[in-house]
Structure formats: C-alpha cells, structure tokens
A and B are shown apart, each in its own frame.
Chain A
Amino acid sequence: MQIFTCPFCGPRDESEFHFGGEAGNTRPDGAGVPAERWAQYLYMRANPKGATREVWVHLTCGEFFVMERDSVGHKVAASQALGGAEKSE
C-alpha cells in the first residue's frame, strides 16, 4: 500500500486515488485536428521508466492534481494542485 499526498487532504492510502494520465497532454480542440495529432493526444504516451509527472484524482475529495513520482521505486517526490502550490512529501 503506497501513500500518496493529496494537496488538499494530505497523505492517504493509494486505494483512495485513481490514475488520470500523464501530465501535459494538452487536448487539441476542433473537428479539423489532423488524425495523427488526435491519435497522439488520445493514445500515445511517453510512459517513462523512472521519474514521471502524472495527473491523479483523489476520489475521496474529487480533486485532480499533479504528482511526481518514480515509476520503478515508487518514491513520491511531490504533489501539486492543478495550478496550485506545491506540496512536498
């Protein structure tokens, strides 16, 4: 059981959280987006081994936030509200 830190609620068990996706995957708007660009947004992922920046949601409070962690050793470096202040571990 890992411990993640919600920027609003503090450290909680991993089971209260849900993975939202890689951070920085901006949605291209419009019907005219090239198919390749749309596919990239929808499906293509860096999926880094090691340091990652991800969007998570704390299901208990419903807030989405950005978490930096290591995808191998599972050490959590920081979590940060969307557009909010950093909250270190």
Chain B
Amino acid sequence: MTRRYSAFSLFKEGLAGQTGWEPAWRSPSPKKSYDAIIIGGGGHGLATAYYLAKTHGVTNVAVLEKGWIGGGNTGRNTTVVRSNYYYPESVALYGLAHRLYEGLGQDLNYNVMLSQRGMISLCHSAIEMEIAARTVNAMQISGIDAELYSVDDVRRVAPIYNFSADARYPVFGGVWQGRAGTARHDAVAWGYARAASGLGVDIIQNCEVTDFIIADGRCRGVVTTRGEMRADRIGMAVAGHSSVLAAKAGFHLPINSYALQACVSEPVKPILDTVVLSPGTGVYVSQSDKGEMVIGGALDRIPSYGQRGNLPTLEGVISGLLEMFPAFGQLKLMRQWAGIVDVVPDSSPIIGESPLPGLFLNCGWGTGGFKAIPAGGTLLAHLLATGKHNDISRPFDLDRFVTGRLIDEAAGSGIAH
C-alpha cells in the first residue's frame, strides 16, 4: 500500500527533511507473463492499468513504456479538459472523462490540479453564431453544460480580448462551458502510475515493443527490448505511433501522423482566467498556474513523426494570438515543442479490438487525447477485462470506417478540435 499524500504527511515530512517519501511507483523487472499487457505508458495506458486493477480486479498487469512514462503526448499537450461535443456518442465519451476528472485528485490521492476555469469558443460572424446555437442546443439536449454567450458575456470572462471594431476577427459571442478548464498534465500520468503501481501493476520503462507474438491467429504476447512477455489480452495506447505498431501486427489503421505544436510564454502574474479558443485564428490559450501562457494552434501541414517545432506554423499561431490579445505582444516565447498525434478522418478515437484478435486499440485521439484520459482508460480496461465493448466505446470501433458511421465533430459543429 502506498503512503497517503496529505497536508499532514507533507508537514510531518517537512519536519523530517522530506526524507521519508517512497518511490511514487515501483520499477520492477518484467515478468515472463501477465494477465494483460498495456503498450504505452502515457495517460491512457496508465489509466487503463489503474482501472483494470481497481474496477476489474485484474492486477497482474504490465504497462510497457519505451521511454519514460508520460513522455509522449500526455506531457506535450496544452492541458485543456472539456466535454463540449456535438454528437451524443462524443458527449457520452468525453462526458465520462470529464466526470472522472472531477473526482480524479481524490480518487488517485494525487493533486492533478483540475482547474475548472471555463472555456469560451468564440464566434466571429453571424453564421458562426448560428452554428454555435446549433452546438449549444445539441449539448444541452445531451445533458452537457453549455451556454451561448453574447459579446458582453465574453467581455466578462475575457476582458483583455481584442474587442476593437476593426479587429480581423470580431467577436459576436461564443460557446461557453463553465466546467471546462485545465489540469496538470504530468500529474495525471504520475497520479495514475502511482495508484496503479500501488494496486500491483508493473510499470516498466525503457521497454520498447519490437514485435508481437502471434499464434493461431491471435496475439499472445510481445517481444520487447527487455525480453518476451506473454499475455492473452494486450492493449495498445501509443498515440503518435499507432501505425508503427499496427504494421508490426500486420494491419493498417485510418491514421496519418502529424506534429501538433505548442508553446509557452514566460511566466507573468495572472491576467487571463479562462481558456479562450478562436476559430478564426485557430488558436487557443490559457494561463498556467505557474503564470505561463500555454498556446496551441492548428496541426502542421506536413505528415511527420518528427517531434519538433517548426517556424511557419509557430508564426501563424503567434500572429493569431496577438490578434486575439494584443497586450500579449509584451510577452516573450520561452519554449516551443511538438507532439505527434494520430489524425483520423473523422477526428474521433478508435477504441476496440484490432483486426488481430487479442490486441485491443486505444488510438486516434488526434489533438484531444489528454481530456479523454480517464475515459480512454476506463473503456480499454473494460475491453481487456471482458473482451467486449460497452455502450460508450461501441460507436468508436474500427468497423465504423466500413459502415460509414463516422463521428465527425467538425462535420456537425463549428468546433475545430
């Protein structure tokens, strides 16, 4: 059992020089076989392990991470948590994630700093306001909190926005989700890792899967840089590299890999209290608790596995940001990076059994995987434990590309991602 974190334990350790803390997670040697193996030690993989152990009592589980846990997109995103989706299938999925996020700190006994400061997705024209109304109505019908905001409402939640009459993208209003916000991305990975490890899950870092063990048409295990491991149920949650593993398992996925860039400014005192997204500029921004502006934008235009920022996209994003917030022209860019995301034709995730029986997929989250971590974990854990979909994951099966039942949020609403 891991030691509980609390103000009291912190105080006690303070008196003792903080020397009594245990490892947040164990680093055991890999075993030869497990009941389930999860490839990918990001948020989704670690959450899968946690819910397998906690909800389904399956604790003989390994999480295999080729680098360090949380080092992929979990540690590279802009930390937005929201569930303002159009289609009921998406609402069910992201709504589940959002609810779980709301109790995650206490559930994991790890402060993931969920900050529900609200998010405004702006509208820049009368037409966009009509689409926004369509979106808000859809969300209200599906039972998700959403409001249609007027210009004055926007002025209230983002007073330093550029409301000038000659702005390139004038504000007509926007879609507000009050429960939306941000969470501390690293803490989500570490919190799940600590809780899963405490329940008996083996977290194995620096362990890259190089091949699958396939027998009788089923996936029976994996070959890794740290030896072979067997399991009858294998899940993969390796955003950005899903196609690479799929190729090893002998199938293709409807995925292209693209770099998504993000950047932060130098830290300044609080000046922006909400998450703001402008579809005109494609830019979204929030201020971290540390004071940095966390800035994201559109995908790069060139398919890539290079986890590296580039200049033209950055210039586009920053000019968009300054159009939204001219006062941010006083700020300096401190750090720029990129993550590799799985881009799927309908921008919805793929959850379900792969064409190779015994291998289950959690991929295709595009730019929005972080907000879905608790749901992605819950659903993949359900699949691994039962071998079956539940109602929430069913629509996201790979078979939708054959039936044509795509869940394309861009098709249904004005929200880009």
Which residues of A are at the interface with B, using a C-beta cutoff of 8 A?
1-2, 13-15, 18-19, 35-36, 39-40, 42-50, 52, 54, 71-74
Contacts and interface: CB of A to CB of B under 8 A. Distances in A.
Contacts of B311: 1
22 contacts: A1-B310, A1-B312, A15-B301, A15-B312, A18-B301, A36-B402, A40-B252, A43-B254, A43-B345, A45-B256, A47-B252, A47-B253, A47-B257, A48-B247, A49-B241, A49-B257, A54-B303, A71-B257, A71-B303, A72-B306, A74-B302, A74-B304
A47 B312 CA distance: 23
Given A1-B310, A15-B312, A71-B257, A47 B402 contact: no
B305 A71 contact: yes
A10 B304 CA distance: 22
B333 interface: no
Given A15-B312, A35-B402, A47 B243 contact: yes
B244 interface: yes
Interface in B244-303: 244, 247, 252-257, 301-303
Residue of B243, B252, B302 with most chain A CB atoms under a 10 A cut-off: B302
B302 A19 contact: yes
A56 to B, nearest CB: 9
Contacts of A2: 302, 310
Given A19-B303, A39-B402, A45 B255 contact: yes
B301 A19 contact: yes
Contacts, number: 69
Given A35-B402, A39-B402, A44-B254, 20 more contacts: A1-B310, A1-B312, A13-B312, A14-B302, A18-B301, A19-B303, A35-B403, A39-B401, A44-B253, A45-B243, A45-B252, A45-B255, A45-B256, A47-B243, A47-B303, A49-B243, A49-B305, A54-B303, A71-B304, A73-B306
B252 A44 contact: yes
Given A1-B312, A35-B402, A45 B305 contact: no
Contacts of A36: 402
A4 to B, nearest CB: 9
A1 B313 CA distance: 9
B364 to A, nearest CB: 11
A1 B312 CA distance: 6
Nearest to A40: B252
B301 A45 contact: no
A49 B247 CA distance: 10
Contacts of B312: 1, 13-15
A89 to B, nearest CB: 16
A40 B254 CA distance: 8
A54 to B, nearest CB: 7
Contacts of A35: 402-403
A34 to B, nearest CB: 9
Contacts of A13: 312
A46 B245 CA distance: 11
Contacts of B403: 35
Interface string B69-92: 000000000000000000000000
Contacts of B244: 49
Nearest to B310: A1
A22 to B, nearest CB: 9
A44 to B, nearest CB: 4
B239 to A, nearest CB: 13
B217 to A, nearest CB: 17
Contacts of A15: 301, 312
A35 to B, nearest CB: 5
Interface in B309-362: 310-312, 345
Contacts of A42: 345, 401
Residue of B241, B257, B345 with most chain A CB atoms under a 10 A cut-off: B257
Contacts of A73: 306
Q: Which 10 A-B pairs have the closest CB atoms?
A: A43-B254, A47-B243, A44-B252, A39-B402, A43-B401, A49-B305, A39-B401, A72-B305, A35-B402, A49-B244
B127 to A, nearest CB: 26
B254 A45 contact: yes
A36 B306 CA distance: 31
A46 B247 contact: yes
A71 B256 CA distance: 11
B410 to A, nearest CB: 16
B256 A47 contact: yes
A35 B244 CA distance: 25
